[in-house]
Amino acid sequence: FNNNISSYERFNGKEPALTHLRVIWADAFVHLVKRKQVSKLAPRATRLKLIGYEFDGAYRCWDDNRQEIVISRDVTFDENSALELAKDYIPPEELYEVEEILDSRDGPEGPEFLCKWLGFEDEDNTWEPIENVNHLTVFADYINEKTAIALSAASTEEPQTYKQALSSDDAPKWTEAINAELKSLHTNETWEVINPKSLPHNQRPICTKRLRTTLRHRLQRNLRSGSGFPPGTILRLRKALYGLKQAPREWYSLLHKELTSLGFKRLANDNAVYIRTLPGSDSSQYISVYVDDLLILVKTESEILSIKTSLHNEFNMTDLGEGNDILKRFGMQDCKPVNTPMDQTKLEPYKVEDTKTSPNPQEGEYRKIVGSLAVVVNYSLCIGGNNVTLHSYSEADWGNNILDRRSITGYLFSIGNVGPVTWASKRQPTVALSSTEAEYMALSFAIQETIWLCSLLQELQILKYLNESARPATIYEDNQSCISLAKNPVDHACTKHIDI
C-alpha cells in the first residue's frame, strides 16, 4: 500500500470489489444442475469446502469425497463452522506451557532463564531469552521470589531491648549510637540527678526520650539498662524529650523564638513558613519548617550560609546538602562522574512490556537513591516573572459512592506556567441531589482554597497579589448549570433548598 492505495486500485483506477469474499474453509453448498440430480427428492446442492477464488468471480471448492476441486458460481455459504473452528485453533507456540522458571544467567545476548515445560522431563528444560518469558505469570513469581530472598537477607530484625542490641551482630554500632546519644543528653544538660528520698509520695518517675527545649514543669524518669548510671538512679528532666505530650509545642516555641530573633516573621496563613526581608534587599528569604527539618529558600549562596551560621550558634544542626554521605551509603564514592543530563544517543533503547506484572528487584533501592538526592538538589522558588495568575480546575463526581451516595470533590491549582501547587480529591460531607449541586459544592471548596492561596501569596510578597482588589485568579468549571447558578443564584426546582 502507498498512501492507503492498493496496487490494484493504482493500476485499474478503481477500488477492488470485496463483497464476494468469504471465510476460507467455510461450508460451501454448490448447486447441482438438474442432470446431476438423482431424483426430485434428492439434495439440490452438495456440501464442499471453500479453498479459493477464480479470476472470473467463481469459487474454488474442495470435494473431499472425490478428492477433486469444483469450480462454481452458484454457491451458498455457511461460515459459522469455520469461525468456530478458528476459535479452537491453538498456535504452535501455545502448545507448550512453562510450568516453572528454575534459574537465570547472563547469556551472550542478554539475560536467560531456565524453563521447565509442563508435561516434559527435566532433561527437556531449555534456556530462554527474557523476551520469551517476561510476559508470563511464572516469570513474575520467579522475580518476586528472588526479590523476597534478597530483602530478607539484607534486612535483620531490629532489637527491641538493650540486651538484644548488645547480643546482636551490630552490637558495636548500637554501643556507639548509645554513647553518642548519652553524650548529647549530657551536653544539653537535659537532666539532673536527684535523691529518691526527696520525691513526694504521690510522684512517680517516667521514661521518655530527649528533645532540646526547656520544660515549664520538671519531670522525673527512672533509668533503664545502658544509661551509664547505677541501678535505681532517678533523673529530673530539665529539657523536653521526644515522647512527652508537651514536647512538640516546646520545640516549636523554641524554634519560633530563635527565628523571630533573626528577623523572620511567621505567616498567618501557614504557621510553618517564615519570611524575612533584609533592609536594602529586593528579595525575600523563606524558611519552611517540618518538625525539626528546615528548608531554606534564598536568592544567593551567601544568604543561605548566613542563615545556617546563625542557626548553628543555637542548634546542633546537620546539613543534608552534602552528597558524600549519600555516595558512601550506596557504595558509589569511587564512581566516575558523568554529565547531567545524560547524552541520550548513548542510551540503549528499552521496550516496555505490555503486562500488568513488571516486577523490578531494584525498585526499592532506586526510590531510596532518588529520595536522598532530592535533599541535595538546589531548589528555586518558581513563582515570579510576568505570569503569576492562579489557575484552578474544579470537578465533581456525582453519587460516586454506591453505599452512601456521596459525591467526590476534586480541584487542582497551578500558578502561571508552573505545574500543580496544590490539589485535593475528597468525599463531600453531604449527599448532592443533582450533578449541579455536586459541582456547586466542589466549586465552593475550590473558592475557599483560592481565597487562602491568594492571601498566602500576598504574605509571600508576590507583587500582583499585594493589591487585594486586583488579585489574578481564574477558576475553570465545566458544568453550565453550576456556572449559571454561581453567576445568578435564583431559585430553581433542584436548588431551592440551598440557602448559603
Residue 442 CA to residue 444 CA, distance in Å, equals 5
Q: Which pLDDT belongs to residue 362? A: 62
Q: Are residues 394 and 478 in the same domain?
A: yes
Q: Which pLDDT belongs to residue 205? A: 43
Q: Are residues 241 and 256 in the same domain?
A: no
Q: Of the spans 142-156, 229-243, 371-385, 444-458, which averages the highest pLDDT?
A: 444-458
- If phi over 0 gives left and psi between -120 and 50 gives alpha, with beta otherwise, what is residue 495? alpha
Q: Lowest mean pLDDT of 198-202, 256-260, 401-405, name the range.
A: 198-202
Q: What's the average model confidence in pLDDT over 318-328?
A: 67
CATH number of the domain residue 406 falls in: 3.30.420.10
Name the residue with higher pLDDT: 237 or 95: 237
119 occurs within a structural domain: yes
Q: Which pLDDT belongs to residue 278? A: 82
Q: Cα dist. 291→260, 311, 321 in Å? A: 17, 15, 18
Measuring CA to CA, which residue among 263, 308, 259, 255 is closest to residue 281? 263
Residue 475 CA to residue 447 CA, distance in Å, equals 8
Q: Which pLDDT belongs to residue 133? A: 86
C-alpha cell at 134: 517476561
CATH number of the domain residue 144 falls in: 2.40.50.40
Of the candidates 319, 339, 365, which is a domain's last residue?
A: 319
Q: Predicted confidence band at 115 (pLDDT cuts at 50, 70, 90)? A: very high
Q: What's the average model confidence in pLDDT over 73-85?
A: 82
Residue 304 CA to residue 296 CA, distance in Å, equals 7
Q: Are residues 231 and 253 in the same domain?
A: no
Measuring CA to CA, which residue among 256, 255, 246 is closest to residue 215? 246
CATH number of the domain residue 80 falls in: 2.30.30
Q: Are residues 256 and 311 in the same domain?
A: yes
Q: What's the average model confidence in pLDDT over 88-115?
A: 78
For the chain, the domain total comes to 5
Residue 15 · residue 74 · CB < 8 Å: no
| pLDDT of residue 346 exceeding 50 | no
Residue 458 · residue 274 · CB < 8 Å: no
Q: Are residues 79 and 131 in the same domain?
A: no
Q: Lowest mean pLDDT of 189-193, 318-322, 325-329, name the range.
A: 318-322
Name the residue with higher pLDDT: 164 or 89: 164
348 occurs within a structural domain: no
Report pLDDT digits (tens) over 430-485.
888 888 888 888 988 998 998 888 888 888 887 777 777 767 788 888 888 888 88
Strand order in the sheet with 59-63: 68-72, 59-63, 45-53, 27-31, 75-78
Q: Which pLDDT belongs to residue 350? A: 42
357 occurs within a structural domain: no
412 Cβ contact list (under 8 Å, min separation 6): 392, 393, 420, 422, 423
Q: Which pLDDT belongs to residue 221? A: 54
Q: What's the average model confidence in pLDDT over 384-406?
A: 80
Q: Which pLDDT belongs to residue 154? A: 52
303 occurs within a structural domain: yes
335 occurs within a structural domain: no
Q: For the beta carbon of residue 218, count every other beta carbon within 10 angstroms.
A: 12
Name the residue with higher pLDDT: 270 or 349: 270
343 occurs within a structural domain: no
Q: Which pLDDT belongs to residue 36? A: 61
Q: Which pLDDT belongs to residue 367? A: 75
DSSP letters spanning 29-88: EEEPPGGG-SSTTS-SEEEEEEEEE-TTS-EEEEETTTTEEEEES-EEEE-HHHHHHHHT
Stated pTM of the model: 0.49
Q: Which pLDDT belongs to residue 211? A: 44
> What is the chain's alpha carbon radius of gyration, rounded to the nearest angstrom?
39
Q: Predicted confidence band at 235 (pLDDT cuts at 50, 70, 90)? A: confident
193 forms beta bridges with 235
Q: Are residues 11 and 76 in the same domain?
A: yes
Please provide the average confidence, as pLDDT, over all residues in the chain: 77
Of the candidates 215, 245, 275, which is a domain's last residue?
A: 245
Q: Are residues 108 and 69 in the same domain?
A: no
Q: Are residues 269 and 230 in the same domain?
A: no
The domain of 221 spans 166-245
| pLDDT of residue 347 exceeding 50 | no
Report pLDDT digits (tens) over 260-298.
998 899 999 989 899 998 887 778 888 988 887 888 888
Q: Are residues 400 and 479 in the same domain?
A: yes
385 occurs within a structural domain: no
Q: Lowest mean pLDDT of 141-145, 267-271, 400-404, 451-455, name the range.
A: 400-404
Name the residue with higher pLDDT: 69 or 33: 69
Q: Which pLDDT belongs to residue 461? A: 81
309 occurs within a structural domain: yes
Of the candidates 319, 347, 373, which is a domain's last residue?
A: 319
Q: Are residues 56 and 16 in the same domain?
A: yes
Q: Predicted confidence band at 135 (pLDDT cuts at 50, 70, 90)? A: confident
Q: Are residues 254 and 240 in the same domain?
A: no
Q: Are residues 39 and 21 in the same domain?
A: yes
Secondary structure class of 314 (helix, strand, coil): coil
| pLDDT of residue 19 exceeding 80 | yes
| pLDDT of residue 127 exceeding 70 | yes
Q: Which pLDDT belongs to residue 161? A: 83
| pLDDT of residue 391 exceeding 50 | yes
Backbone angles phi, psi at 77, to 5 degrees: -110, 150
